Structure 1
Amino acid sequence: MAGAAACFLVVVSVSFSQLLVCEAVVEKRPRHHAWSQAGEGKDGGGMRISDPRNSSVFVQQLLEKSDGQLSNSSTPLAPPPSPSSDWLSWSSPFLSTSSPSFSFTSYFSSSSLASSRLLMSRRLRPALEAEQEFPGDDPSLGRLLVDVVRREMRGCSLVLVANGGYEASLALQEVLRLPNFRQVINARSAKDLQRTDWTPYPCGGGVFLLGDPTPLLDFGGRDQHSWDYDGKILIVGLSTDQLTRFTDTTKGKKTEHIVGVVKSEDEGEYRLYMNQLYWGKGVTWVNTWRHTRLTRPDAIFPNKIANLRQAALKVVQFEIPPSIAYHRRPDGSLFIFGQEVELVLLLARFFNFSISYQWPPPGEMWGEKLANGSWNGQVGMLGRGESDLAISNRYITSYLGRFDFEHYSAPYEFDKSCYLVRLDPPFPRWQNLGLPFQWVTWATILTALALTGPALFLLARASTGSSGSEPLGQTLSYSCVYIVGVHFRVSQTLLPRNISIQVFMTFMWMYATILTTAYCSNLTAFLTVNIQPRSVDTLSELRHSRLRVLSVGPLIGNLMSQSVNPDLKARETAWLWGPGRRALTAHFTSMPDFDSITELVMAREGVMVQSRAFLEYKREQLIDSRGRTLVRIIKECSFPFSVGVGYQTHSPLIKKFNRVINWIVESGLFRYWKVTTLRMAKKLRLEAEKRSGNSDSDAHADAPEESGVIPLGIDHLQGIFVVLLFGLVAASAVFAAEKFCCEGPPPT
């Protein structure tokens, strides 16, 4: 009895002495980087755990398990490296966590472990050896972890997560011997994982040794931004069902590389299961580890995006030409075409996936933010995981926190928001005769005409007198008619006889020749086109009009309210400027669809604001029976933007899809698709009109022929006949006046 008591006291004293030898440091480090290299301490290998309350349990477990390994295993613990090289602590100011961390560091030497084994009573050793060995102490598992980290995560920063007894496992110690920068987390709850800095440096990896999977499973559905979606994740301690549950969480669905290590029935053998991402649900077997090596040469972290194996990606879209255009075939089927349709089809061929088209709920389209903070439309469908991709001329913007619900591809189009207005009726064709010159020019010409007639008469009278031989000085009316004939370049049979009058008429003929030549040259152009009255061309003119600014969704209105442009911003000065002269934000109205906007535009009650590409397409569709457009785009636009594909947040498709999208943009394919889309839309519209019998043979009477020559018709020359009619009426009026008012003896 006394011997047993003495032995017990020896063991207790040895254990207590080992605890005193340990260098225990409990420190609170606000915004500490929590990264270490290869082990810390002066005397040997170290491990950092985040909860100091487990220090005594950790020490006792490590002593007992190390003793068992030394006595029973053929692979003893490797001695620690010298304290002068890679066992030094490493820190960096740019790797930091956002919350304070508590750490406990213990250091042990192989000599102290050996001494504890030698001093331990022979009676206690069989009892310890009889205990079931902890799974984390299997040397095969340690070699597996080291092999995977060396091959797949070389040079990457690691996040080492342990709980449920794995904090003191020999497998974790083997990983700690590697030179990777790392954080070591004792995951008691999901909050411990959420406070971790998951920023990779320069690449990332995660090794999870879990006796309790609850923290990881809870963390999978929490804050979506706190995770390394591009890192390679290795999980030990979960069953296949638990791995499947994790891959179904928000983080698991968007992480490309997840591998679970499951112990098989054979000693030293572990089966490796990987997530399937888009290939299928759950996990699938990928390889097997036996003692020292994998049984297959295949990669355990394969590229799951390069070949999606005909997985069906859900693409949400709606009609907005030329990005997305619809055509209903005679058999009732829907034909979808357009620039972004061609883009998605090319991506599908490149990455080998199939397309499943979806539509947002009616009236929601791109989506808008609701009062509860969520989104509807395409943004909401991406945020809820109901769709994989979203197209339809999507602006790349983070306004109102969109990046919490969707991410974007690399831009493939650059456009701006413009304004579509209804054209005013053109001027009557007969007015084209007066359009070659401005009204100021006409006023100057008429003034010169009115002055040169009397000037010629006075010059002729002064040269020869009233009874002289110069006929141009006999009557004022004759001199005025003579000058009018010169303006029309009519040859005069009566020539001036006086030298001064001849010099005057020489310069008069030069003036008339230049003037009439300029008029005739410009008149040809005005006779062949319809002249529109001046309309709204700038935002300032639009602001001072009473037209409403119409768009689908509130995005444009919200951007206007934040603009620094005085014609757009929301600050109103109606008391100063009067009604109808407020900023455009006050005139903005969000509409449910484009058809309702088009009706208001055609009724001259508003203007449509949308991307220029869409408005150009709309302008080609809104034409009359003669093929003439009924709308126009004002010259001044606003809000330049980029267009891209919408993804789910942190989608694994983004990086690899972006690479192909950049190739497409550089090749010029996207612009080519725009031209082919417009041609296709015009062709299908003409075919539909032909089938319905609404085609008009004179629809394009004013369109240029292939030769570029436009024959002039009665409509073009109606002004000439108006002049003729005016001349007949004037002559009749003069005749009547002469006949009834000024009748007298005929002149001799």
Structure 2
Amino acid sequence: MPSRRLLSIADVERKPPRDASSLARLLLDVVGREMRDCSLVLATDGRLETSQVTRHLLALPNARQVVYVESAKDLKNLNWIKSSCGGYFFLLGDPTPLLAFGEEDQHSWDYEGKYVIVGLSIDQLNQFTRTNKGKKTEHIVGVVQTGRDGEYSLCMNQLYWGEGVECVNTWLQQRRSLEAAIFPDKISNLRQAALNASCSGIIAYHRRPDGSLFIFGQEVELVLLLARFFNFSISYQWPPPGEMWGEKLANGSWNGQVGMLGRGESDLAISNRYITSHLGRFDFEHYSDAYDADINLVWRQLFILATPSPKYSWFMYSLYSPSCSDWKEFKSCYLVRLDPPLPRWQNLGFPFHVITWLAIVGGLLLTGPVLYLFARASTGSSGHDPLGRHSLVYACLYMVGVHFRESQRLLPRNPSTQVLVSFMWVYAIILTTAYSSNLTAFLTVTRQPDSIETIKELRHSSLNVLGVGPLIGNLMAQSVNPDLKALTARFASMPDFDSITEQVMSRKGVMVQSRVFLEYMREQLTDSRGRTLVRIIKECSFPFSVGIGYPTHSPLVKKFNRVINWVVESGLFRHWKFTTLSMIRKFKMAKDKSRATADPDAPADAIQATGVIPLGIDHLQGIFLVLLFGLLASLLVFLAERFCSRALGFRGD
């Protein structure tokens, strides 16, 4: 019985196969164990003595393709049809075409297929696993001739487990030395592999007192959950200053996060990454399934521009429903500076709208003369109405007293005036009750003036539209919506969010970004009392969905998507979002409190007030203004009376 041993790499050397029958049995064993239902592709250059091997593989019932390889172009012309299970056999005497093809166009390859390569040495296999295609393929096995007749070493690529290939099994004549699979699942357990995550956008962080950095946010929570589930460690990276998500350069490459993914410097990109193929992003970056959506179905014309590819078009178009009536679900993406609140003395007028006040004044001006006319003209059983013996001014003052629910000693006697006064009392009771009950709430709150709510209103304002990178500006220029197109002239690409924030706080522009990010910014931009200084307008123009970024054709996508969908269905993202906003508020309040404690000249209201507060002069300034105006008005009337009485020579009282 042949000895069952696992050869080390030092024992393996590249030699032409001296036993084609043993190699044929090995490849048939691989198909029988791990490619039974796969479609097969056989690529050979005819330089190996593999006629027997080829004959046995062609006798299999699997659907297959056969290609004769002389150059990398022959491999590129192969019909790369992605299937649920694809098996690929390369029988090569010259490794040059395969190595050259591994560095070419990344799209001509089945990254989920199972590859068996015969004819390459250990060093050549290591070289192939470092090519653009090889480093993103989960299943690659090299069959290497050893020093013994009929013996072959099976060397597996390690993907994230390590560098190059590792010889994991040995075949001698008719059997393997180990029964372990040569195409194991390398993603479900990454064996504490170190993955790099590029961060930007809504990744929040807090500097602890000891100087360490605490990173948090819903994307961070998602990556930490994935790390626990798939058993890998995470290392955070940041793009160079000013690059952020990434822009396309003049030479066709990208900087920022897109460039880091394309160059293989990062395995993940976590931020509010829009799922879009704009300017050829898919050549450098792919995305996970969407876990958040920043959409507004009003601007339907942008769907054509933003739909990345047939792979994602089903998702983008499923977001639009013409019959959808729940407009509250639309997300905003413009952050504007809040205007100063209205003066508190105006609180006395807030319980009623302007039209209501005009109706009240009109009723007051009308009812006084009507009461005077009815009282003068009506004659009842008891004679003339006593209200008719007084002047028009008295009748008007009588109605003013009714409006203020002031009891009157002089009552009407005739039916017409009695009916009028009775209904006026009912009217005054309801009106004053409604005013006083609604006034209580308005005395303790501040009212903001009407501000921008729509893109049309933004267009007619003088504010600039500010974003990091040119993506939003390019899409606005391509939009058929006239308001968005007109705003293109006022769009400015800024290097970072600090520059945009400075412009927003000085009321020179608005920030355009995903709603999730703007909600984080809103929690940061507050005053000493914790009140927000900015707001998010209602309308938006971006139908993008948000997902994790990966290098193109990353083997992590499929397995990670399954867990991401579980997280979305469980509602964890919503929980993480509220938790993150709560933490931002907590850190901001702690920072403001420590700053106020350290500064003895800090304002007394620097600490957030909580609970019920007593009403101060600031809340009731309107009432005191009414008192002041009343005193001034009575003084003017008194002076007018004295002047008129002396001018007319009146005597007595």
Partner secondary structure for residue 473 of structure 2: helix
CA deviation profile, 1:548-570 (whole Å, cap 9, x unmatched)? 0111111111221232322113x
**What is the alpha-carbon distance in structure 2 between the residues aligned to residue 365 and residue 308 of structure 1?**
28
Cα contact 2:593–2:607 (8 A) shared by 1: no
The separation in 2 between residues aligned to 1:394 and 1:200, in whole angstroms, is: 27
Please point out which of 514, 517, 520 is paired with 1:617: 520
Contact kept? 1:389, 1:646, Cα under 8 Å: yes
Aligned residue for 1:523? 439
- Contact map agreement 1:159 1:198 (CA 8 A) in 2: no
Change (3 A) 1:688 1:427: closer
Secondary structure at the counterpart of residue 738 of structure 1: helix
Q: Aligned equivalents of 1:301 and 1:173: distance in 2?
A: 24
Q: Deviations over 1:704-742 (max 9, x none)?
A: 62xxx5543222211111111001001111112222343
1:547 matched to 2:463? The reply is yes
Partners of 2:471 and 2:72 in 1: how far apart? 37
SS in 2 for 1:449: helix
Q: Aligned with 1:663: secondary structure?
A: helix
* 2: CA distance, partners of 1:151 / 1:671: 44
Q: Deviations over 1:27-81 (max 9, x none)?
A: xxxxxxxxxxxxxxxxxxxxxxxxxxxxxxxxxxxxxxxxxxxxxxxxxxxxxxx
* Partner deviation per Cα, 1:526-564 (whole Å, 9 max, x = no partner): 222211111111111111111101111111112212323
- The 3-state SS of whatever aligns with 2:451 is coil
Pairing 1:742–2:625 present: no
Given candidates 391, 407, 411, the residue that maps to 2:270 is 391
Asked if structure 1 preserves the Cα contact closer than 8 Å seen for 2:467 and 2:492, the reply is: yes
Q: CA deviation at 1:469?
A: 6.4
Cα gap change, 1:503 to 1:202, in 2 (>3 Å): closer
The 8 Å contact of residues 41 and 88 in structure 2, kept in 1 or not, is answered as yes
Q: Is the Cα–Cα contact under 8 Å of residues 457 and 473 in structure 1 kept in the other structure?
A: no
Cα distance in 1 for residues equivalent to 2:532 and 2:353: 26
Aligned position for 1:688: 591
C-alpha distance in 2, partners of 1:533/1:680?
Answer: 30
1:365 is aligned to 2:238: no
Does residue 379 (structure 1) correspond to residue 294 (structure 2)? The answer is no
Instruction: Write the letter of the residue equivalent to 1:274.
Output: M
Match of 1:413 among 292, 296, 315: 292
Note if contact 2:171-2:177 (Cα within 8 Å) is conserved in structure 1.
yes
Change (3 A) 1:231 1:279: same
Note the residue ranges of structure 2 that are not aligned, 5 or more in a row: 1-14, 296-331
Mapped pair 1:718 → 2:621 = yes
Structure 1 Cα separation of the partners of residues 375 and 356 of structure 2: 28
The residue type equivalent to 2:605 in the other structure is: D
**Pair 1:729 & 2:632 matched:** yes
Candidates 465, 475, 500, aligned match of 1:597: 500
Q: Which runs of 4+ in 1 moved over 6 A?
A: none
Alpha-carbon distance between aligned partners in 2 of 1:609 and 1:201, rounded to the nearest angstrom: 41
Aligned residue number for residue 369 of structure 2: 454
CA radius of gyration, larger in: 1
Determine helix, strand or coil for the equivalent of 1:357: strand
Counterpart AA for 2:412 = P
Aligned mate of 1:490, from 402, 406, 412: 406
3-state SS, counterpart of residue 245 of structure 1: helix
Q: Name the counterpart of 1:653.
A: 556
Q: Which residue of 1 aligns with 2:448?
A: 532
Distance change >3 Å, CA 500–CA 712, structure 1 → 2: same
CA 1:485–1:472: 2 relative to 1, 3 Å: farther
Aligned equivalent of 1:698: 605
Aligned-partner residue type, residue 680 of structure 1? M
CA contact (8 A) 1:560 1:568 kept: yes
1:258 equivalent to 2:136? Answer no
Q: Tell me the equivalent position of 1:511.
A: 427
1:502–1:413 Cα change, 3 Å = same
Shift of 1:167: 7.7
Q: Tell me, yes or no, if structure 1 residue 588 matches structure 2 residue 491.
A: yes
User: Cα distance, 1:328 vs. partner?
Assistant: 1.3
Residue in structure 2 matched with residue 339 of structure 1 by the alignment: 218
Amino acid across the alignment from 1:372: N
- Long gaps (5+) in structure 1: 1-132, 570-582
What do residues 361-415 of structure 1 show as CA deviations (whole Å, max 9, x unaligned)? 1101000111221111000111111111111111111111111101111111122
Which AA in structure 2 matches 1:686? Answer: M
Shift of 1:697: 5.3
Alpha carbons of 1:609 and 1:746: their partners in 2 closer, same or farther (altered >3 Å)? farther
Contact 2:288 2:548 in 1 (8 A): yes
TM-score (norm: length of structure 1)? 0.77
User: Quick one: distance in 2 between partners of 1:688 and 1:535?
Assistant: 30
| Cα displacement (A) at 1:448 | 2.0
Structural mapping, 1:405-444, within 5 Å = 405-416=284-295, 417-444=332-359
Is residue 2:481 matched to residue 1:565?
yes
Aligned-partner residue type, residue 539 of structure 2: E
- 8 Å CA contact 1:568–1:585 kept in 2: the answer is yes
2-structure distance, mates of 1:311, 1:647: 16
Could you tell me how far apart the structure 2 residues matched to 1:596 and 1:533 are?
26
What SS class does the counterpart of residue 150 from structure 1 fall into?
Answer: helix
Deviation of 1:135 after TM superposition, in Å, equals: 2.7
1:343–1:419 Cα change, 3 Å: same
1:137: how far off? 5.7
More contact order relative to length (CA 8 Å, sep ≥ 6): 2
Question: What amino acid sits opposite 1:291 in the alignment?
Answer: Q
Give 3-state SS (helix, strand or coil) of 2:94's partner.
Answer: coil
**Which secondary structure does the structure 2 equivalent of 1:644 belong to?**
strand
Judge conservation of contact 1:198–1:228 (CA < 8 Å) in 2. Answer: yes
Tell me which moved more, 733-742 or 691-700: 691-700
SS in 2 for 1:250: coil
Number of corresponding residues = 595
Matched to 2:398, the amino acid is Y
Displacement after TM superposition at 1:498 (Å): 2.4
Distance 1:152 1:468, change over 3 A: closer
Give the corresponding residue for 1:110. none
In structure 2, the CA distance between the partners of 1:309 and 1:469, relative to structure 1 (3 Å rule), is closer
Measured against aligned partners, the alpha-carbon deviations of 1:602-656 in whole angstroms (never above 9, x if no partner) come to: 1111111111122122222222223322211112222132111111111111111
Partner Cα distance (2:292, 2:69) in 1:
46
> How much does 1:134 deviate?
6.8
Cα displacement string for residues 458-505 of structure 1 (whole angstroms, at most 9, x for unaligned residues)? 22222359x956244322222121111011111111112223222221
Residues 470 and 464 (structure 1 numbering): CA distance in 2 closer, same or farther, change over 3 Å? farther
Shift of 1:518: 2.4
Identity of aligned residues (%): 70
Residue identity opposite 1:456 in structure 2: L
* Corresponding residue number in structure 1 for 2:314: none
Q: Distance in 1 between matches of 2:175 and 2:255?
A: 51
Report the counterpart of residue 210 of structure 1 in structure 2: 92
Q: Which residue of 2 aligns with 1:241?
A: 123
Q: Are the equivalent residues in 2 in contact too, given 1:136–1:170 (CA < 8 A)?
A: no
Distance 1:544-1:262 versus aligned 2 partners, 3 A rule: same
Equivalent position SS for 2:544:
strand
For 1:421, what is the secondary structure of its paired residue? strand
Deviation at 1:660, TM superposition (A): 1.2
**Does the Cα contact within 8 Å between 1:227 and 1:251 map onto a contact in 2?**
yes
Is the CA contact 2:520–2:584 (under 8 Å) kept in the aligned structure 1? no
CA distance in 2, matches of 1:136, 1:710: 93
- Deviation of 1:449 after TM superposition, in Å, equals 1.3
User: Contact conserved, 1:229 with 1:254, CA < 8 A, in 2?
Assistant: yes
